[in-house]
Amino acid sequence: MNIHIALTGEPVFSFLGINFTNTFVISIFITIFMITFFLFAFRKREIVPGKMQNFFEFILETVFSIFDGMTGDSKKTEEIFPLAATLFVFILLNNLLEVIPGLGVFPFLRSPSSDLHFTLALAIFSMMFIHFTAIKKLGGVEYLKKYIKLESPIMAFVGILEVLGEITRTMSLGIRLFGNLFAGEILLMIVSFMIPYIVPLPFLGLEIFVGFIQALVFSSLITVFYVTTTAEEH
């Protein structure tokens, strides 16, 4: 019996010249679900919250305090919090999809996190957001000084390395998430294929943990990159 493993998602349908893969479709569904859920959860905005509002605010405040601990500056946390929190919840939901029976590295249903397009897209968008915010905050000249250093040839080379560093940061962010989730899905699939009963359970637990950790790692790294990129040079 052969196991079909594809590195990217399987095309489901084509629209306007774009091949909608299974991972892309699922990520669109998750986007719609998240928007609907958040709008429902935060439909009431009272100064003195009710039980429901209090519960959802508690979750967001906990996430906020985690990122606040990383930035050490509540103003910067307020700036990066929307991106970091969205990334955390979005990646977590996508990661947890892989433990749902029927979803895996199958031709039709597949967790978006195990597709490089999805993880790279998140990394590219996040890094673009960070750099645009840095230009807005520091000003174009100050921002360029981070990468174009004309004090000496060595410093100029350091500037080039900084640019390369930014590209590799983006790539590593995307590939790290993809690698972890893809490997996890393959592991689950192989274990389930070899011994279908009971044995896959610990691996499912492990994958839930890995999914949570990877979501946290991704959003934490984005927070740290934001702090370092928007920091003024002395």
Partner 1 sequence: MNSIEVDWKILVGQIVNFAILFFVLKALIYKPFLSLLKTRREKIEEGINKSIEADKELGKIGEMKVDLERINEEEKKKILIKADEEAKKRLEEANKKAEEEKSAVLAKAHKEAEAIKELEKDATRKSTIENAFNLTEKLLKENIDEKKGKQIAEDFLSKLKI
Site residues, partner 1 (CB under 8 A): 5-9, 17-21, 24, 27-28, 31, 34-35, 38-39, 42, 45, 47, 57, 60-61, 64, 78, 81-83, 85-86, 90, 116-118, 120-122, 124-125, 129
For 32, list phi and psi in degrees, rounded to 5: -65, -45
Of the two residues 89 and 210, which places its CB atom closer to partner 1 in the complex? 89
Of the two residues 71 and 159, which places its CB atom closer to partner 1 in the complex? 71
| Residue 176: C-alpha distances to residues 14, 42, 47, 115, 171 (Å) | 29, 32, 41, 12, 8
Of the two residues 64 and 147, which places its CB atom closer to partner 1 in the complex? 64
- The nearest distance, CB 103 to partner 1, in angstroms, is 18
Q: Are the C-beta atoms of residues 110 and 23 closer than 8 Å to each other?
A: yes
Of the two residues 38 and 147, which places its CB atom closer to partner 1 in the complex? 38
Buried b (16+ CB within 10 A) or exposed e, 51-72: eebeebeeeeeebbebbbebbe
- The nearest distance, CB 139 to partner 1, in angstroms, is 23
Of the two residues 148 and 190, which places its CB atom closer to partner 1 in the complex? 190
- The nearest distance, CB 163 to partner 1, in angstroms, is 21
8-state DSSP, 97: G
| Residue 27: C-alpha distances to residues 92, 93, 185, 188 (Å) | 12, 10, 17, 21
- The nearest distance, CB 84 to partner 1, in angstroms, is 10
The helices-and-strands tally (H runs, E runs) of the chain is 7, 2
- The nearest distance, CB 135 to partner 1, in angstroms, is 18
**Residues 6+ away with beta carbon under 8 Å from 178:** 113, 114, 115, 116, 118, 119, 120
For 152, list phi and psi in degrees, rounded to 5: -155, 165
Report which of 128, 126, 124 is spatially closest to residue 136, judged by C-alpha positions: 128
Of the two residues 66 and 206, which places its CB atom closer to partner 1 in the complex? 66
Of the two residues 85 and 224, which places its CB atom closer to partner 1 in the complex? 85
- The nearest distance, CB 41 to partner 1, in angstroms, is 8
- The nearest distance, CB 224 to partner 1, in angstroms, is 19
